[in-house]
Amino acid sequence: MLIDLLISEKEKKTGEVLLALPIKREKIFYSKFLSIMIIILFQLLFWITALYYFGRVTNPLIILPLTITAILLLSITGLIGVYSKNYKDSALIVTVTFIVLFFFLFGTSTLYLVGLKEVAAISPLSLVIAIENGTYSTKETIFSILPSLSFSLILMFASTALYRKDEFYFGPRPSITQLIFNLAGKLQIKSRSYGPYFIALIFGFIAVLISIILEIFFGIITIYFTESIFVILALWAIIEELSKSIGIFSASHYYKLKWHEGLMAGMASGLGFAIFENIMFTGFALNIFPDYAVRILIMRTFLSGGVHIVSTGVIGVGIADKKYLTLTFIIGVIIHFGYNIMMLQGVL
């Protein structure tokens, strides 16, 4: 419904009337978002009340994780609706996006049923199962809600930022590459000495989220066709190095990088990626192995952090000097893949 509200304005040319009103555009977006959210909440209340009355639901508190799930779905569809030019455009994006989302929400919830409760807790739908079983805790509730809610807020911020731009109504719509470069442009600082490294560092943080989405999607496809853990580890190395490289390419768009500056920009992107990833792993460790959380943080800081910095630093040299790009990317992926294999052997 939210996509319909947003795209119908573009196709029927009724959005111009709204834009002419003395109302901030983000308020227009949030009014659409909240109107759909209120409808969903009423539906949730109705069905949960009915199911509770007939004994199909034992604890009405399941409305909390279901509401968080609804917010996540709406924030995703909101961003798609703002970015898409028409219904055909949005249909393709929605299909791909919701396949990934399906595996995140329901795939991780199945892990709860096979006993991997701590890992599955990242999905809010796992919290529904825990509440129904009476096994939920405050820590598990926070751990299930916080990632989805945080991601939803990021998506809503991105949606309102795009909704304020005339290009998404009147065209030409910027490509994703242009949007990335625009974001990098806003991250520019006055100091030429640190500008490219700051951009690369921030994009290193963002690369973690990009990697997670792509790794879930392509990882599941790879398991289906090959069932080879080594292929998956190689794929993940490629995905993460590509994601981290976005920051270096963005920095090179505004700064002419020499090879050593490309190296430093790559190291900055790898550092940002490692910091965010280590925070996430430590959060998992606190939930699964609380006694080993500090040890895991220290180990990953020096091992994983070092690998990310070195591998992406090598790729940064190739981005600065394009004639070495293919070679340096292969070397960076090999370094990363070698680390993944080493960690796998350590686990096994």
In angstroms, how far is CA 293 from the centroid of its own chain?
24
User: At 156, which amino acid appears?
Assistant: M
pLDDT(20) > 80 = no
Q: Assess contact for 59 and 209: CB atoms under 8 A.
A: no
Same domain, 217 and 152: no
| One domain, residues 148 and 49 | yes
1-15, 139-153, 259-273: the lowest-pLDDT one: 1-15
> Encoding tokens for residue 239?
């995905």
Give the pair of three-digit tokens for residue 164: 């304020």
| pLDDT given at position 205 | 92
Residues 131 and 183 in one domain: no
Range of the domain at 323: 177-347
**What tens digit of pLDDT does each residue of 292-324 get?**
667 777 777 777 888 999 999 999 999 999 899
What is residue 336's predicted lDDT score, i.e. its pLDDT?
93
- pLDDT given at position 197: 92
Overall average pLDDT of the 137-165 stretch: 83
Same domain, 160 and 191: no
Q: Are residues 161 and 189 in the same domain?
A: no
DSSP 194-245: THHHHHHHHHHHHHHHHHHHHHHHHHHHHHHHT--HHHHHHHHHHHHHHHHH
Same domain assignment for residues 250 and 155: no
Are residues 291 and 261 both part of a single domain? yes
* Each residue's pLDDT tens digit, 52-76: 888 888 888 889 888 988 898 889 8
Query: What's the confidence (pLDDT) of residue 114?
Result: 56
Pair 195, 217 in one domain: yes
- pLDDT for the residue 346: 59
- CA distances to 340, 341, 342 from 346, rounded to whole Å, are 10, 9, 6
Give me the pLDDT at residue 118, please. Answer: 58
Distance CA 320, CA 159 (A): 32
Segment 17-27 shows an average pLDDT of 78
Last-in-domain residue among 126, 146, 171: 171
229 and 206 in one domain? yes
**Has residue 41 got a pLDDT over 50?**
yes
Would the pLDDT of 245 be above 90? yes
Which one-letter amino acid corresponds to residue 42? F
Q: How far apart are CA 119 and CA 147, in angstroms?
A: 13
Among 198-207, 208-217, 264-273, 295-304, whose mean pLDDT is lowest?
295-304
> Is the pLDDT confidence value at 32 over 70?
yes
pLDDT digits (tens, 9 = 90+) for 246-279: 999 999 988 889 999 999 999 999 999 999 888 8
Number of domains in the chain: 2
Contact 321, 259 (CB under 8 A): yes
pLDDT the model gives residue 315? 96
The answer to whether the CB of 239 falls within 8 A of the CB of 211 is yes
Q: Are residues 32 and 112 in the same domain?
A: yes
End-of-domain residue from the set 120, 146, 171: 171
Residues whose CB falls within 8 Å of the CB of residue 43, separated by 6 or more in sequence, listed in order: none
Provide the pLDDT confidence category of residue 333 given band limits of 50, 70 and 90: very high
Residues 257 and 306 in one domain: yes
174 C-beta neighbours (distance < 10 Å), count: 16
Looking at the fold, whether 43 and 164 belong to one and the same domain comes out as yes
Write the CB contacts of 233 (distance below 8 Å, at least 6 apart in sequence): 337, 340, 341, 344
pLDDT > 50? residue 348: no
Q: Is the pLDDT of residue 141 over 90?
A: no
Please identify, among 119, 139, 171, the residue that sits at the C-terminal boundary of a domain.
171
